[in-house]
Amino acid sequence: MEMQFLGNLSLGFGVAFQWVNLLYCLIGVLLGTLIGVLPGIGPTATIAMLLPVTFGLSPITAMIMLAGIYYGAQYGGSTTSILVNIPGEAASVVTCLDGYQMARQGRAGPALAASAIGSFFAGCMATVIVAMFAPPLAGMALKFGPSEYFSLMVLGLVAATVLAHGSLLKAIAMVLLGLLLGLVGTDISSGMMRFTLGIYELCDGIGFVGLAMGLFGIAELISNLELKGSREVFTSKIGRLMPSREDFRRMWKTILRGTALGSALGILPGGGPLLASFAAYALEKKISGHGDEFGKGAIEGVAGPESANNAGAQTSFIPLLTLGIPSNVVMALMIGALMIQGIIPGPRVMTEKPDLFWGLIASMWIGNAMLVILNLPLIGIWIRLLTVPYRFLYPAILVFMAIGVYGLSNSPFDVLLMAIFGILGVIFVKLECEPAPLILGYVLGPMMEENLRRALLIAQGDPTVLITRPISAGFLIAAVILLGIVLAPAIRKKREEVFVED
C-alpha cells in the first residue's frame, strides 16, 4: 500500500511536471487569482467561459488548468475582501468581516499573509487527503449497481437544494427543471428525439457550454452592470507582510481546525468552499478564545475561513473523481469538461486513466506553491487591477464568451442558446431562483435516467429494488433525513441566518 501510494504520486508528479502541464497550471492559477481578485466575476463563469478553449488541450492539461482556476480564485478572493471590503468571490464573504478591519488598523500585510499561509497549508493538506481517500472510495464505488447510483444522485441533488439559499421549493423546482433540460435531445435507449421542437441543432441536447455561460456568465454580467457606483480601493498602506510571532501563535491552531473542517465539508455532496468558510468562521468565533475580537480585526477570523475554503475547494474533487458525481456547480462544469473530452467521470477513471487522476492531484500541490509566490510578492499588481472600471471589463468578458461559444460548432446557434439562457438567468435571479441546482440537475439528468432504467430493467420493473438494496436504501434514507432536517423550523431559521450575509 505504502509503495503503491508513492508509486502513484511519482506517476502524478511525472505528469504534472511536463512543461505543458506546468504552463497550463500556471495559466490556471494566474487566471484564478485574477478573477478571484476582480469582484463581479467568479470561478463558475470563468470555467464556463473557458470550456471551449479546453477542446484543443489533452484531458489532463484541461483539468489541471480548470482546477487551477478554481482554487486560485479562493486565494485571489481574499485579497479583495481584505483590501476593499468587497468579496472578490462568494466564499470570501466572511473574510471581509475581520480582514477589512485589520486593513483599517494598518495590518493589511499580516492579514494577507495569514490568508495566504492558511490557504497554502490547507491546500497541501487537502491534496494529501484527496490522494489518500479517493482510491478506497473509488474501490467501493465500483461495487455500486445502477440502483445505488440512482439513489446516490438523488442524495446529491437533495443536498444541493438544501444548501442553496432562498426558498427550498424553488430550489427543488430548479433541480427538476435542470433534469428535464438535460433530457432534451436523442434518447439513448431508443434513439428517439425528445423535446427538440424540431430544431436540428438540439438533437445532441442543449449545449452545456451555452447553457452554463448564459445562466452564469451573462446573468452575472447583467447583475453587475445594474449596480452603480464605483469601488473604493484601500491601497494606502499594506504595511509589512510578515505576521508577528504573536500572530503565528494565535493562528496555527485555527489553520489546523479550518483545514479539517473545510476538508470534511468539501467532501459532502452540496458542500464546498462557501459552506466551509462560513462554518469555520462560526467555529473560530466560539472556540478560539478571542471571540470578542471577532468583527474588529481578529487574525483568526481571516486565517480560519481562508484555510477552510481552500481545503473545501480541493476535497470537493473527491466525489467527482471517485463517484463521478459533482458536489457543487464548479464540479458539474468539470464533469462537462471531461465529457467533452470523451471521458466519463467515475470510479473507473482512477484505474483506466491513472495519469489523469494522479497528475491532477500532483498539480494541485504545484499550483498551491505557485499561488503563494504569485500572491505575496505580486500583491501590488493585483491591487492595481482592482482600479480597472467595469465598463472596460464587461465588453471584454462578452467578447470572450461570444467567440468561445461560436467556436464550439462554428455556428450561430450556440450563441443564440447562450443569449436565451442569459435572459432566463436574469429572470431566475430576479425571482430568487438559484441557477446552481439547475446545472447540477442538467448534468445528472441523463445519468439518473439511464441508471433508473437499468435498475428497473434488472429488477423487472419492481421499484422496490431501490429500497431493498442496503446501500441504495441508505442513500435514500439520508436524503429524506436531510430534507426533514431542513424543514424542521429551528434549522430552517438558522439556515436563513447563515445565508442572509451572502
Partner 1 sequence: MFIGFGLFFMIGADNYELGSAARMGPAYFPTMLGGGLAVIGGVVFFQSFVVSGGKVAAIPLRLLFFITVALLLFGYLLKPIGLVLALALLVSVSAFAGHEFKLREVLLLALALILLSVLVFVKGLGQPFPLWPKFLG
- The residues binding partner 1 (CB under 8 A) are 53, 56, 167, 169-170, 172-173, 176-177, 179-180, 183, 187, 189-190, 192-195, 218, 221-222, 225-226, 228, 391-392, 394-396, 398-400, 402-403, 406-407, 410, 412, 414-416, 418-419, 422-423, 426-427, 430-431, 448-449, 452-453
**Least Cβ distance, residue 322 to partner 1 (angstroms):** 26
Nearer to partner 1, 135 or 182 (CB): 182
CB of 427 to partner 1, least distance (A): 7
- Determine which helix (DSSP H) or strand (DSSP E) holds 183, and give its type and residue range: none
Spatial CA neighbour of 209 closest among 320, 340, 89:
340
Write the CB contacts of 72 (distance below 8 Å, at least 6 apart in sequence): 28, 29, 30, 31, 32, 33, 36, 367, 371
Measured distance CA(92)–CA(230) in Å, rounded: 20
Min. distance of Cβ 434 from partner 1 in angstroms? 14
Alpha-helical runs (H) found in 213-299: 219-226, 245-267, 273-287
Task: Please state, in angstroms and rounded to a whole number, the distance separating the CA atoms of residues 64 and 69.
Answer: 9
Q: 3-state SS of 298-331?
A: CCHHHHHHHHHHHHHHHHCHHHHHHHCCCCCHHH
Minimum Å distance from CB 191 to partner 1? 9
Q: Cα-flanking dihedrals φ and ψ of residue 206, to 5°?
A: -75, 130
Measured from the CB of residue 461, what is the shortest distance to partner 1 in angstroms?
11
Instruction: Using alpha carbons, select from 188, 218, 183, 204 the residue that is nearest to residue 411.
Output: 204
Q: 269 or 425, CB closer to partner 1?
A: 425
Q: Which one, 9 or 176, has the nearer CB to partner 1?
A: 176
Q: Which is nearer to partner 1, 275 or 452 (CB)?
A: 452
Cβ 169 to partner 1 shortest distance, Å: 6
- Nearer Cβ to partner 1, position 106 or 412? 412
Strand-pairing partners, residue 193, are: 186
When the beta carbons of 194 and 296 are compared against partner 1, the nearer one is 194
* C-beta closer to partner 1: residue 142 or 225: 225
Please state, in angstroms and rounded to a whole number, the distance separating the CA atoms of residues 77 and 235. 16
Residue 401 C-beta: closest distance to partner 1, Å: 8
Residue whose CB is less far from partner 1, 182 or 297: 182
Antiparallel, parallel or unpaired: β 193-194 and 185-186 = antiparallel
Give the nearest distance from C-beta 230 to partner 1 in angstroms: 10
Report, in Å, the least distance between residue 430 CB and partner 1: 6
How far apart are alpha carbons 94 and 329 in whole angstroms?
Answer: 20
Report the residue number, 303 or 426, with the smaller CB distance to partner 1: 426
Cβ atoms of residues 119 and 371 within 8 Å: yes
| Least Cβ distance, residue 155 to partner 1 (angstroms) | 17
Conformation bin of residue 198: beta by default, left when phi > 0, alpha when psi is -120 to 50:
left
Supply the DSSP string of 347-375, one letter for each residue: THHHHH-HHHHHHHHHHHHHHHHHHHHHH
Residue 431 phi/psi, 5-degree rounding, is -90, 5
Cβ-based nearer residue to partner 1, 308 or 426 = 426
- Structure-block grid coordinates of residue 106: 494598518
Q: Looking up cell 494606502, which residue turns up? A: 236
